[in-house]
């Protein structure tokens, strides 16, 4: 039995990736201090958005007989 990642989690990962690309383009226009603040804020928001607790039930339901 392998570890599988649900479709919802995969969709969220792709949204975060796209967000990082957009934020990177926008950060080019900011000074270094602004870049650091935006990067730290977006990192926190990405981890909060990808929090696995809501998906734990999705994984446990797939392993039931």
pTM over the 0.75 mark:
no
Structure confidence by residue, pLDDT tens digits, 1-38:
455 677 888 888 899 999 999 999 999 999 999 999 99
- Return d(Cα 61, Cα 6) in angstroms, integer: 11
CA 44 to CA 48: how far, in whole Å?
6
User: Encoding tokens for residue 27?
Assistant: 């950060």
φ, ψ of residue 28 in degrees (nearest 5): -60, -30
Write out pLDDT tens, residues 28-39: 999 999 999 999
Query: Exposed e or buried b for every residue in 24-41, given b needs 16+ CB within 10 A?
Result: eeebeeeeeeebeeeeee
């Amino acid at each position: 039995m392998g570890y599988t990642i649900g479709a919802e989690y995969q969709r969220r990962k792709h949204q975060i990736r796209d967000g990082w690309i957009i934020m990177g383009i926008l950060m080019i226009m900011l000074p270094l201090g602004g870049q650091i603040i935006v990067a730290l804020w977006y990192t926190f928001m990405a981890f909060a958005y990808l929090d696995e607790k809501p998906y734990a039930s999705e994984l446990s339901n797939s392993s039931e007989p």
